[in-house]
């Protein structure tokens, strides 16, 4: 037991362990909730557990949400079913590692929270506007699935052909795994956990949009780098830079003195050329 506690402390003390920290927090909360549930049931007070669970889960009722706004964050750290938390944490770890290699830890963690919040918004809006869901009455949302779906779809959008090996199936590109779970959530959106699947889809949508944004940002950076490279080369050509020539320190000091006294425009074409050569040498 002491060894396990030591490993957990190490996860929170070491850098670049954000994913594992989220997983440990989720599992820790699950264990604490289950121990509390067992204790209250054995003491004949299960009603207290249900009351507490409602406080940290996200209600589909807007009036309840306004009274407990923290639920928009707390709900995606709450699990009361073993298989629910196991599969969520496994997918978070597997796809989080893939995404983290591409985006880095900070953006991956941000996306987990964005997905959870987006899932909550989709859940609240849908269950309060579409008659099919409104007629079912208030529901409660819990679990990290929306944040996990955001990680999965973002990884599949950025690295669609990344291959993983599935038991009894073999190598499968993650774009197919992502597509399967999205389609499954669409089909199950009218099932017994309709609200939960709506939240899944909200998280999945944010994951795709985030990946598209990242792709667009990278494309813009690439274009800017190309422009800067073109401008640099053009500037070098305009002054006839010969990168193999060396400018000695005395000559450079004379040029710099002239700039300090009369400005850059006072330099001759040859002096500008020599200054550029010196700057290239120092890079």
* Residue 226 falls inside a structural domain: no
Q: Is 68 left (phi over 0), alpha (psi -120 to 50) or beta?
A: beta
Where residue 61 sits, what CATH number does that domain have? 1.20.1540.10
Contact 104, 140 (CB under 8 A): no
In the prediction, which pLDDT does 224 show? 55
- Is residue 227 situated within a structural domain? no
Domain count, the chain: 2
pLDDT at position 243 is 46
CA distances, 220 to each of 96, 158, 213, 216, 225 (Å): 25, 16, 11, 6, 9
Can you give the residue range of the structural domain that contains 53?
2-219
Last-in-domain residue among 166, 190, 219 = 219
Whether residue 231 lies inside any domain: the answer is: no
pLDDT of residue 271: 79
Pair 207, 174 in one domain: yes
Q: 164 and 193: one domain?
A: yes
The pLDDT of residue 231: 56
Are residues 131 and 50 in contact, defined by beta-carbon separation less than 8 angstroms? no
Residue at 267 is within a domain: yes
Among the three residues 165, 190, 219, which one is the final residue of a domain in this structure?
Answer: 219
Shared-domain flag, residues 161 and 107: yes
Residue 234 falls inside a structural domain: no
* Structural domain contains residue 201: yes
Shared domain check, 256 and 126: no
**CA 211 – CA 156 distance, rounded (Å):** 9
Alpha-helical segments (H) within the chain: 2-13, 18-42, 46-56, 62-67, 71-74, 82-103, 105-127, 131-134, 145-158, 174-187, 194-238, 249-262, 269-282
Query: Mapping DSSP to helix (H, G, I), strand (E, B) and coil, where does residue 165 land?
Result: strand
233 within domain boundaries: no
- In this structure, the answer to whether residues 125 and 262 fall within a common structural domain is no
In contact, 92 and 14? CB cutoff 8 Å: no
> What is the distance between the alpha carbons of residues 6 and 29, in angstroms, rounded to a whole number?
18
Q: What is the CA radius of gyration of the chain?
A: 28
Same domain, 179 and 254: no
19 and 124 inside one domain: yes
Report the predicted TM-score, pTM, of the whole model to 2 decimal places.
0.76
Give the pLDDT of the chain (283 residues) as one tens digit per residue.
677 888 888 888 887 888 999 999 999 999 999 999 999 999 988 899 999 999 999 999 999 999 999 999 999 999 999 999 999 999 999 999 999 888 888 899 999 999 999 999 999 999 999 999 999 888 999 999 999 999 999 999 999 999 888 888 888 999 999 999 999 999 999 998 999 999 999 999 999 999 999 888 766 655 555 555 555 555 555 555 444 456 677 887 888 877 766 666 667 777 777 777 776 655 4
- Cβ atoms 120, 65 nearer than 8 A: no
198 and 264 co-located in one domain: no
Residue 275 lies in a domain: yes
């Amino acid at each position: 037991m002491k060894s396990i506690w030591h490993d957990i402390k190490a996860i929170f003390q070491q850098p670049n362990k954000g994913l594992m920290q989220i997983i440990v927090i989720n599992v820790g909360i699950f264990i604490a909730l289950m121990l509390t549930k067992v204790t209250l049931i054995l003491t004949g007070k299960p009603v207290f557990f249900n009351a507490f669970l409602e406080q940290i889960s996200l209600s589909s009722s807007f009036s309840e949400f306004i009274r407990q706004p923290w639920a928009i964050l707390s709900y995606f750290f709450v699990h009361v079913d073993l298989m629910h938390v196991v599969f969520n944490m496994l997918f978070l770890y597997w796809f989080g590692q893939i995404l983290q290699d591409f985006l880095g830890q900070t953006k991956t963690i941000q996306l987990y929270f964005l997905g959870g919040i987006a899932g909550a918004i989709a859940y609240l809006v849908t269950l309060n506007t579409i008659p099919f869901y409104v007629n079912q009455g208030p529901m409660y949302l819990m679990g990290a699935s929306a944040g996990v779906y955001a990680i999965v779809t973002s990884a599949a959008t950025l690295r669609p052909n990344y291959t993983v090996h599935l038991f009894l199936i073999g190598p499968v590109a993650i774009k197919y795994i992502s597509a399967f779970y999205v389609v499954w959530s669409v089909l199950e959106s009218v099932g017994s956990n309709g609200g939960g699947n709506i939240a899944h889809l909200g998280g999945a949508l944010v994951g795709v949009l985030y990946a598209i944004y990242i792709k667009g940002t990278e494309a813009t950076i690439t274009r800017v780098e190309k422009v800067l490279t073109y401008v640099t080369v053009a500037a070098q050509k305009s002054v006839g830079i010969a990168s193999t020539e060396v400018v000695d320190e005395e000559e450079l000091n004379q040029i710099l003195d002239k700039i300090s006294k009369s400005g850059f425009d006072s330099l001759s074409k040859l002096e500008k050329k020599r200054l550029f050569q010196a700057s290239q040498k120092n890079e």
